[in-house]
Structure formats: structure tokens, C-alpha cells
Amino acid sequence: MSSVRIPPVLRDAVGGSRSVAASGATVAEVLRDLFQQFPALRERVTEDGELSRFVNVYVNDRDVRYREGLETPVAEADTIILLPAMAGGSS
């Protein structure tokens, strides 16, 4: 099982957890398992079955856009980070 870090705006979709476990040998497989466990999360970050473009996915500290995308391999000890942009600031 790999560990998936859940950003604050998505935590209510996973029961408030900051990090959840999911299994799979690639990012796509891990996400599939994740969405099976947390259907509410699927609704929030996918469009027509695809991961939305505004969510960055990192395996450890590497953006999968610069690796093999959703086919990027994932090892048991890896940490996956889901990261949509944050808006908050001053006002």
C-alpha cells in the first residue's frame, strides 16, 4: 500500500484524513483504488473519468507530468501527493 496525501480542500471527501492508504503499481491504479474507497473524491477531482487538469499529482516529490503521467510506476514505500492550487491570501 502506498500513502496518498490529501490536500486540505479534499479532506472532507476522505472523512477528514490527511493521508490515506491505497494500492496499485501505477498512479492510475492507485487512483482507481482510492476512488473506489472514496467515491466522493472521484467526483471532486475527475472529469469524464479522467483526472482533472487542475490537480497536480506527485510521486514522492516528482510531478507525474514530467514522468510517465498516470502510468508512472508506484512502489509500496512511495508517497503520492494530490495538489490542487490554493487561492488564499491577504484579503
Q: Which residues bind another protein (CB under 8 A)?
A: 5, 7-10, 18, 44, 52-56, 58, 61-63, 65-66, 81, 83-91
Q: Which is nearer to another protein, 37 or 79 (CB)?
A: 79
DSSP state of 35: H
Q: How far is the CB of 20 from another protein (least distance, A)?
A: 15
Q: How far apart are CA 78 and CA 3, in angstroms?
A: 7
Q: How far is the CB of 45 from another protein (least distance, A)?
A: 8
Q: Which cell numbers in the block locate residue 47?
A: 472529469
Q: Which is nearer to another protein, 76 or 90 (CB)?
A: 90
Q: How far is the CB of 31 from another protein (least distance, A)?
A: 17
E-strand ranges in the chain read 2-5, 19-22, 46-47, 50-51, 55-59, 62-63, 79-84
